[in-house]
């Protein structure tokens, strides 16, 4: 009789998130060595900077991961516009007052969730493909942000701004908060009916519906969560950078897709890889930092990002098929 036991090494080798962390370690070492030769930041400050900026990417990528997991062709293109709108609305609601921080965060979450619900209605009621629906809503949302803000930049509350730059040794306090949010998403995926239903919908929507899964409700919840996290991220980015800006979410469209794919989530749906989100976010930041230090152009950075997405997607899907 053959031995069917799975060794710990095989389990580790088959973890889709592992490659993201291996790649992050390699780029971190390369960036540290490169900086040492040019008088750049040492390992400690580099990690602090990487954690600070990667935390925003992680928060918004968690929502994108849920959308991509819900099935092939599902992607949320409205994320950058939601970040811009929520940044403007939350800054306007807080009016630089420490006493209105809770209100501003609530406004950011509510505005993002509203966009997520609209995205679902466009997809479900009008039968528009998710890519087209979220792209169309992104244009509308960005127009609303332009009409509301009119280019005006409102300063964040001083307390919130200080909280976002506070740190414990080399670890930003904001990153600890994002780790707690990551844990909540992990519990949502692994310990709730929603998590099991989402994976079932991503693997085979018709089969999930025939099995009694409320597919529409769970997809609605997925888009609402995704854009709520984007709304929260918009508020925090505006607070971190000293005020809202219409272009503050531009980089997070391609970046979130890259992080989700590099982290091991299947682009065909049905398999989320939460452990790779942090690894993918750190990898992308460190790669860009290394290219910047080497003097690479913005076009080259974007080209490499696209190539990485294609390569990782092809390798992970081939690995899953085997």
Q: Of all residues in the chain, what percent are helix, strand and coil, respectively (each to 5)? A: 75, 0, 25
The pLDDT value given to residue 290: 81
DSSP 269: S
Helix and strand counts by DSSP (H, E) for the chain: 14, 2
Q: Could you give the CA distance from residue 191 to residue 213 in angstroms, rounded to a whole number?
A: 16
Q: At what angle do helices 101-125 and 130-149 cross, to 10 degrees?
A: 140
Establish if 197 belongs to a structural domain.
yes
The pLDDT value given to residue 320: 56
Q: Could you give the CA distance from residue 276 to residue 108 in angstroms, rounded to a whole number?
A: 26
Contact assessment for residue 166 and residue 256, using Cβ atoms and an 8 Å cutoff: no
The pLDDT value given to residue 2: 42
Q: Closest Cα to residue 78, out of 103, 54, 111?
A: 111
Q: Could you give the CA distance from residue 72 to residue 58 in angstroms, rounded to a whole number?
A: 22
Dump the DSSP string for 115-166.
Answer: HHHHHHHHHHHS---HHHHHHHHHHHHHHHHHHHHTT--PPPPHHHHHHHH-
Number of domains in the chain: 1
Establish if 6 belongs to a structural domain.
no
The pLDDT value given to residue 7: 42
The pLDDT value given to residue 10: 42
DSSP 192: S
How does pLDDT run across 150-188, given as a tens digit for each residue?
A: 767 889 999 999 999 998 888 899 999 999 999 999 999
Establish if 316 belongs to a structural domain.
no
Establish if 7 belongs to a structural domain.
no
The pLDDT value given to residue 302: 75
Establish if 207 belongs to a structural domain.
yes
Establish if 274 belongs to a structural domain.
no
Establish if 79 belongs to a structural domain.
yes
Q: Could you give the CA distance from residue 254 to residue 57 in angstroms, rounded to a whole number?
A: 11
CB atoms within 10 A of CB 48: 17
The pLDDT value given to residue 12: 42
Largest CA distance in the chain: 73
Enter the pTM of the model: 0.89
DSSP 271: -
Establish if 129 belongs to a structural domain.
yes
CB atoms within 10 A of CB 138: 23
Q: Could you give the CA distance from residue 86 to residue 79 in angstroms, rounded to a whole number?
A: 10
How does pLDDT run across 114-148, given as a tens digit for each residue?
A: 999 999 999 999 889 999 999 999 999 999 988 88
Q: Could you give the CA distance from residue 297 to residue 55 in angstroms, rounded to a whole number?
A: 24
DSSP 99: G
The pLDDT value given to residue 310: 76
Question: Which structural domain, as residue segments, surrounds residue 114?
Answer: 42-250
Q: What is the rounded average pLDDT for all residues in the chain?
A: 85
pLDDT beneath 70: ranges in the chain = 1-16, 36-42, 151, 312-313, 315-322
Q: Taking CA 21 as the corner, what is the angle to CA 15 and CA 25, rounded to the nearest 5 degrees?
A: 150
């Amino acid at each position: 009789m053959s031995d069917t036991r799975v060794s710990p090494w095989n389990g580790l080798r088959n973890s889709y998130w592992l490659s993201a962390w291996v790649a992050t370690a390699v780029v971190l070492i390369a960036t540290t060595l490169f900086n040492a030769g040019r008088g750049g930041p040492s390992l400690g400050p580099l990690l602090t900077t990487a954690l600070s900026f990667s935390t925003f990417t992680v928060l918004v990528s968690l929502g994108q991961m849920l959308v991509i997991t819900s099935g092939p062709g599902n992607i949320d293109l409205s994320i950058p516009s939601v970040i811009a709108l929520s940044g403007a609305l939350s800054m306007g609601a807080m009016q630089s007052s420490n006493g209105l921080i809770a209100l501003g965060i609530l406004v950011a979450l509510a505005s993002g969730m509203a966009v997520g619900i609209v995205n679902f209605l466009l997809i479900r009621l009008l039968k528009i493909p998710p890519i087209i629906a979220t792209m169309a809503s992104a244009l509308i949302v960005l127009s609303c942000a332009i009409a509301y803000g009119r280019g005006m930049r409102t300063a964040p509350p001083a307390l919130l701004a200080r909280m976002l730059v506070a740190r414990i040794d080399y670890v930003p306090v904001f990153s600890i908060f994002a780790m707690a949010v990551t844990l909540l998403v992990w519990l949502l995926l692994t310990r709730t009916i929603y998590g099991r239903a989402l994976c079932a919908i991503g693997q085979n929507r018709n089969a999930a519906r025939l099995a009694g899964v409320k597919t529409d409700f769970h997809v609605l919840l997925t888009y609402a969560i995704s854009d709520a996290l984007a709304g929260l991220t918009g508020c925090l980015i505006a607070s971190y950078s000293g005020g809202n800006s219409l272009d503050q979410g531009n980089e997070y469209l391609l970046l979130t897709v890259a992080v989700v794919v590099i982290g091991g989530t299947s682009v065909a749906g049905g398999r989320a890889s939460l452990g790779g989100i942090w690894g993918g976010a750190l990898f992308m930041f460190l790669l860009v930092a290394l290219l910047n230090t080497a003097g690479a152009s913005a076009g080259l950075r974007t080209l490499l990002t696209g190539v990485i997405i294609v390569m990782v997607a092809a390798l992970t899907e081939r690995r899953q098929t085997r």
